[in-house]
Amino acid sequence: MVVANPANTNAFILSYFNPKIKKENITCLTRLDHNRALGQIAVKTNTRLDKIEGVMVFGNHSLTQYPSIKTIKVEDKPIKDKVSDEWLEKTFIPTVQKRGGEILKTRGGSSVASAASATIDHLRDWFLGSDKIISMGVCSNGEYGIPKGIWSSFPVKCKNFGYEIVKDAKLTDYCNEKLKLTTKELLEEIDGADIPRPKL
């Protein structure tokens, strides 16, 4: 499990220089972003965490990551029944994307404690399994238009120290456009590391 940023690209670099390690055994931390999304929704809707489903964070662990809105349900109802579109677009999404920077600015220190907690969550669910969909940075097999061979955050289900990418999430055209942007950034980061891109 890779935590240090740029986590997705570092996972790619690790795999490139250690080809004997199975790609599926290398993951990176995007659970922190997932947890931040959950926390926002719980506070805004005054809802217990176990009543919130469908949080899915896609892409790079950076300002281009995108938390899907259409897939979220609160107490079995679409999130848009609970909060305004304005809050989702102007508060929820930017806060998930920028929360790390905001913590640095507000506290004058890093978000290391929440990252440590997210690391525990990531490893626990990866090892023990989870009934709920969670977000993990894993190697793409081409799901959701993310090129095969790069590490991206995806919605996954974990079981028996394994995971499976959830492939049937219904995404909006807007979300798909955001995935193109985060994919572009991921490929540019690989170029910046002076490592050949995976064969697309």
Active site residues: 61
Nearest in space to 100 (alpha carbons), one of 191, 35, 56: 35
- Long-range contacts from 64-67, C-beta under 8 angstroms, 24+ separation: 64/97, 64/178, 64/181, 64/182, 64/185, 65/30, 65/33, 65/96, 65/97, 65/153, 65/182, 66/93, 66/97, 66/175, 66/178, 66/179, 66/182, 67/33, 67/37, 67/92, 67/93, 67/96
Interacting residues of 108 by C-beta distance below 8 A, sequence separation 6+: none
